[in-house]
Amino acid sequence: MAATMKDIARQTGLGLATISRYLNGGKVKEQNRAAIEKAISDLQFTVNEFARSLKTSKSKTIGVIIPELNSTFVATIIMLIEDILRKSGYGVIICDCSTNETLEKEAVQFLVRKNVDGIINMPVCKDGSHLKPALDKDLPVVLFDRSIANLKDVVDAVVVDNVRAAEDATRYLIENGHRKIGIIVGPGDVFTSRQRLAGYQQAYEKSGLEYDSSYISFSDYSVHGGHESMNRLLAEHAGMTAVFVTNYEMTLGAIIAINEAGIKLPKELSIIGFDNLQLSQVIKPRLTIITQPLEEIGEQVASRMLERLSGSGTKEAGIVTLSTRLQLGESVQKQN
């Protein structure tokens, strides 16, 4: 049905090897080049990627495993990665593992069976054991958002300096005179949660102040969770003057809770949120937030992967740490 290289060879009188060479960017005499191009367009030839894959063992496809698609942070990064990889001819197969380690492990197996050329992963499993099938096959792996200590010399990782981010936010609040600062963090066993909490604690320590651990509220990175945590903090700490919320969804939930309680920002409570510039501009007063460099994360992840794939990236695997930014709004009130 569809034209093959053989048909091109027949029409041009050239050999298969020459057609193949042309198709793969090799040198071909100008006049042959023209003949091949004409034949290709006459016959509407397109390379059969199946046959090509069989020979090269490359699928031009890469797998992406994430805990949950339904989060702006994740969705935005996936969009960026997908866009870049597609421009290089790579298809991106998404696997959502519902923050479930078993599903995550199965996803790796699934992708390896599907012969992806590489795996991008925002890992749920902490020790990286789920990636074994991929590493055994020498597939390039790039992690993002969270790194895995065991694997730090084996796979690339792109993360932000979460400790620094949280420290910046907390220090800013302290510098503005706040002493009783609440923090809403994610699950206690998640890399980013721990780091962000550490930054909060560090800011207190460096200022020679002490924090009260009852001002720390563990949540689950969801809108609902943020709402709940904020209500709890408000109920338990009448003296609290500021809250730092450590991801977008929880920030949203917290804002809603504050509004419901009729608390005026920033007069009665100062707040620093996380991510999503867009939301921060919509809210009045404009929210002061920590922003992660989403574009840069996406770009770094994609380009690490492309480097590994092209084999050009001979330099050893490593962690890329990007900086966050404290984007000032008007949601922090100077305190005396």
Partner DNA sequence: CTAGAAAACGGAAACGTTACCGAAATCTAT
Partner DNA sequence: ATAGATTTCGGTAACGTTTCCGTTTTCTAG
Beta carbons of 207 and 172 less than 8 angstroms apart: no
- Interaction between residue 5 and DNA (CB under 7 A): yes
User: Which of positions 32-61 make contact with DNA (CB under 7 A)?
Assistant: 32, 45-48, 50-52, 54-56
Q: Does 2 bind DNA (CB under 7 A)?
A: yes
Closest C-alpha to 182, from 147, 231, 134:
231
Minimum gap (Å) between residue 74 Cβ and DNA: 35
Residue 103 CA to residue 212 CA, distance in Å, equals: 38
> Which of 23, 125, 135, 279 touches its own copies by CB under 8 A?
279
For 173, half-sphere exposure in the C-beta direction (CA atoms, 13 angstrom radius) is 34
Question: How many CB atoms sit inside 10 A of residue 34's CB?
Answer: 12
Chain centroid to CA 316? 21
- State the burial class of residue 261 (Cβ atoms within 10 Å of its Cβ: 0-12, 13-18, 19+): middle
Tell me if 20 contacts DNA by CB under 7 A: yes
Residue 5 binding partner per list DNA, its own copies, none, with a CB distance cut-off of 5 to 8 Å that depends on partner kind: DNA
Does 260 contact its own copies by CB under 8 A? yes
Partner interacting with residue 218 (select from DNA, its own copies, none; CB below 5-8 Å by kind): none
Smallest gap, in angstroms, from Cβ of residue 282 to its own copies?
Answer: 5
Spatial distance between the Cα atoms of 318 and 47, rounded to a whole number of angstroms: 36
Helices (H), 190-293: 191-206, 223-236, 248-260, 277-282
Of 12, 59, 201, 229, the one binding its own copies by CB under 8 A: 59
Q: Which residues bind DNA (CB under 7 A)?
A: 1-2, 4-6, 13-21, 23-24, 27-29, 32, 45-48, 50-52, 54-56
Q: Which residue ranges make up the site for its own copies (CB under 8 A)? A: 46, 48-51, 53-54, 57, 59-61, 63, 68-72, 75-76, 78-79, 82-83, 86, 91-96, 110-111, 113-115, 222-224, 227, 252-253, 255-256, 259-260, 278-279, 281-284
